[in-house]
Structure 1
Amino acid sequence: MACGVFAPSATAATTGKRPPDNRLEADCRSGKGRCTFKADGPGRVFRAPFRQVSKSLLNCSTSDVSKSMGWEDSLTVTDEAGISLNLGSVQPVAAGITANLSHGKAKAHVSSGTVNITVKPQEVGWIARAPLMHQATGKWTTHYVFPVHRRWHWKIAGTVVGPVENGTAGKYSAVMVKTRQMTEQEVAACASRHKPRPKAD
């Protein structure tokens, strides 16, 4: 963008000082800064902790319950604090070596599937997934429409985390069935749900 196209704001004309880092970070997160991200290197590919990606199945019966359950996991690009970024497609991060992100609405990466699950009496079951993620450290560059503190472009260090396809760096996501004992409240809810109805007179 050529300098001089837009008139400097009153703040820009009087200060020229670097904006606080938290201001630049907030503008990158919101999209106001129209930020791009340049990774310093390939970063690292890792499997994130397991988290629930399906509804819970409560077994209120006296025998095992088996069924096929669907799951869905929707992920997008976030910063190191886990805050979603109003930035570009996740694909540049997935590409790895030269991660570049441009301003624009972040696209979610959706994975889904079906798993057979068996839950014992008075247990709760669900499907959990540990997604494959890529973390890259580098620098954000702002591209303000109007100059901030006399400049359109400010740089700030940062980290982005985003989902990647299975097989990246020879690693894979994982899906598993998890179960636990019902709580006292859940047991009581099961009992009230299956309480015999009084016969009509």
Structure 2
Amino acid sequence: MNRRIRLSVLFAALVTAGSTALAPTVAQAEEQPTTRELLDKCDNGTDSCVFHPDGAPQDSMGEAHQVGDAAYNCTSDLQRSTVGWSDTTGESNSVGVSLSAEYGFAEVFKVSIETNYNHTWESSHTESAQTNIDVRPGEMGWVTREAQMQRVTGTYELHFPDRFYGHYIWYVPFDATGPKPDAPSTKTQHTRPMTDQEKSEHCG
């Protein structure tokens, strides 16, 4: 075997050996923790878990939806109806974890919000009231409600005492939307003519 052939065989052997050695490393690099798995470790296996907000909470109005029953006026006179209702507004977040529990990441999140924004986080808020609607003859009336919401966005920085999936530090983007504490909602009264079907169902 001449020198050129021997070098070619040696190079091929080195490439094969190198590929075999790198294969497990590539496979390990593809293994990543889920966001939920990382947040479950927040103050539960970490040296520190700190929330870095992107800025002040963003205020918005929730989707308008009907609350209480509709009022039907089957008389020939203007009728004032009082609609009693109770409505609960919940929260949502980018990970799908429940923030209503008083343990684990839920408690860590509430402390993070209080520390960064100087107010508490409400996972749910229930409002009850009675709303008057003036309904003309042959019409129906209903009430809709829009809750004031707040959205917080930021990143959790987690430090582990030992490597977790190959790293000591992980960063987890997170955002959550919930009812704004102590903020009144918007209630709106609506009326429209009843359909023939509604007349037969409610005024028959």
TM-score range relative to shorter protein = 0.5 to 0.7
Q: Show CA shifts across 1:118-163 (max 9, x none).
A: 2222222122122111111113578xxxx98567985432321111
Using the alignment, how far apart are the partners of 1:53 and 1:94 within structure 2?
30
Aligned equivalents of 1:96 and 1:190: distance in 2? 54
Distance (whole Å) between structure 1 residues aligned to residue 131 and residue 178 of structure 2: 25
TM norm structure 2: 0.57
% same residue: 21
C-alpha distance in 1 between matches for 2:181 and 2:120? 17
Contact 2:71–2:83 (CA under 8 A) maintained in structure 1: no
> 1:55 is paired with a residue of what secondary structure?
strand
- Segments of structure 2 that go 5 or more residues without pairing to the other structure are 1-26, 43-49, 100-105
Q: Which has the larger radius of gyration?
A: 2
DSSP-derived class of the 1:188 partner: helix
- Aligned residue pairs total 160
Please tell me the residue identity of whatever aligns with 2:188.
Answer: M
Q: 1:60 aligns with which of 71, 74, 77?
A: 74
1:17 maps onto 2:30 in alignment:
yes
| Higher strand fraction (1 or 2) | 2
Which of 33, 40, 61 aligns to 1:34? It is 40
Aligned to 2:129: 113
The residue correspondences of 1:86-105 to structure 2 (distance < 5 A) are 86-87=98-99, 88=106, 97-98=116-117
Query: What is the RMSD of the two structures over their aligned residues, measured on CA atoms?
Result: 4.1
User: Could you tell me whether the CA contact under 8 Å between 1:41 and 1:97 is conserved in 2?
Assistant: no
- Aligned equivalents of 1:18, 1:79: Cα separation in 2: 24
Offset of 1:74 from its aligned partner?
Answer: 0.6
Match of 2:194 in 1: 182
- 1:174 and 1:96 map into 2 onto residues whose CA distance is 29
**Closer, same or farther: CA 66–101 of 1 in aligned 2, 3 Å:** closer
